[in-house]
């Protein structure tokens, strides 16, 4: 897929990418404090916690929506017991003014009830009395530890008619993201894509989280780009903190090309919003 060049400068395209991102937060005790560092009315994704379940996600979504944030809670399929449970969740969210949800499969080994996959939940959701204007589904630029690329492609094709956008799993390699976007477009899926990027945090914590969520190839990419010595220098020179500048720079040539359909970035903050917002504002005001 060729890149359609645009008249905007790289700085202007970067500003477009970093203006109005989606911030992903986890519904832990620190959640409300994290909101203090975000712009008024920011778009917030709220994950489903394996420890706390869906109740915490819905409760935090209700609270954040009441404070004026644009909320997109994760309704992980394998955490929903049955259609009645899904209807109750949808009722609470719509009554709170939530118009956007994200539907992953969820990382429970055994489902809590009758939903094995995001597709099963999406089809049931389409039949209940509550509905949402925006519905997001997951994309995997680096594949999945337990599912083949063919299975992932088939699943996306089935889910796409029920969705309005795609969010990619965390990835540090812009080339891997762009190649995956091209493959998605070649398969005829034209949903807007939000590229998942890490926020700012200490390298050791970020690498640990990355390995836990199955992005080992991206961890190797971080080290491969400069070699081990360069990686250590980068670690020391940045005072031990990772910033996604190189990732944003790699996405910039494609960000405004309509053939790629990149809608923006989805920042995995891991509840480190203060440092991430300081970096984002600095990038916007360079």
- Domains of the chain as residue ranges with CATH: 10-200+243-281 (3.20.20.220), 202-242 (no CATH)
CA atoms in the 13 A half-sphere facing the CB of 251 = 32
Name the least confident of 46-55, 133-142, 227-236.
Answer: 227-236
What pLDDT was estimated at residue 108?
A: 85
What pLDDT was estimated at residue 241?
A: 83
User: pLDDT-based confidence at 89, cuts 50/70/90?
Assistant: very high
230 or 17, higher pLDDT? 17
Name the least confident of 30-39, 96-105, 277-286.
Answer: 277-286
What pLDDT was estimated at residue 239?
A: 58
pTM above 0.75, yes or no: yes
Question: Do 63 and 96 touch, CB atoms closer than 8 A?
Answer: no
pLDDT at 75 over 50: yes
Distance set, CA 109 to CA 52, 78, 117 (Å): 16, 9, 12
pLDDT at 83 over 80: yes
pLDDT at 84 over 70: yes
What pLDDT was estimated at residue 201?
A: 82
What pLDDT was estimated at residue 219?
A: 46
CA–CA distance, 251 with 181 (Å, rounded to integer): 11
Burial of 50 (0-12, 13-18, 19+ CB in 10 A): exposed
* C-beta atoms surrounding 181 within 10 Å: 24
Task: Kindly state the percentage of the chain with pLDDT values over 90.
Answer: 72
Question: What are the structure tokens assigned to 16, written together?
Answer: 């477009």
What pLDDT was estimated at residue 209?
A: 61
User: Tens of pLDDT along 185-239?
Assistant: 999 999 999 999 989 987 666 666 655 544 444 444 444 444 444 444 444 444 5
Mean pLDDT in residue range 250-270: 95
- Paired with 198 in beta bridges are 268
């Amino acid at each position: 897929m060729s890149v359609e060049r645009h008249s905007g400068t790289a700085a202007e395209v970067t500003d477009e990418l970093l203006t109005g991102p989606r911030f992903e937060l986890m519904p832990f005790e620190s959640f409300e404090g994290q909101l203090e560092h975000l712009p008024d009315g920011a778009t917030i994704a709220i994950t489903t916690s394996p420890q706390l379940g869906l109740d915490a996600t819905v409760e935090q979504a209700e609270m954040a929506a009441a404070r004026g944030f644009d909320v997109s809670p994760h309704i992980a399929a394998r955490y929903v017991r049955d259609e009645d449970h899904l209807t109750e969740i949808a009722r609470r969210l719509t009554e709170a003014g939530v118009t956007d949800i994200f539907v992953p499969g969820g990382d429970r080994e055994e489902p809590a009830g009758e939903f094995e996959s995001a597709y099963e939940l999406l089809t049931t959701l389409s039949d209940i009395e509550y509905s949402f204007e925006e519905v997001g589904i997951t994309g995997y630029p680096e594949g999945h530890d337990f599912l083949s690329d063919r299975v992932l492609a088939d699943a996306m094709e089935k889910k796409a008619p029920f969705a309005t956008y795609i969010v990619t799993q965390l990835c540090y390699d812009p080339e891997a993201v762009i190649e995956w976007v091209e493959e998605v477009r070649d398969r005829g899926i034209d949903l807007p894509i939000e590229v998942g990027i890490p926020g700012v945090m200490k390298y050791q914590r970020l690498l640990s989280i990355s390995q836990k969520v199955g992005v080992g190839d991206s961890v190797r990419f971080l080290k491969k780009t400069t070699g081990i010595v360069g990686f250590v220098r980068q670690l020391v020179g940045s005072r031990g903190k990772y910033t996604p500048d190189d990732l944003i720079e790699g996405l910039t040539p494609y960000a405004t090309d309509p053939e790629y359909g990149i809608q923006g970035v989805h920042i995995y903050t891991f509840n480190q919003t203060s440092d991430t917002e300081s970096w984002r504002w600095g990038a916007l005001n360079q």
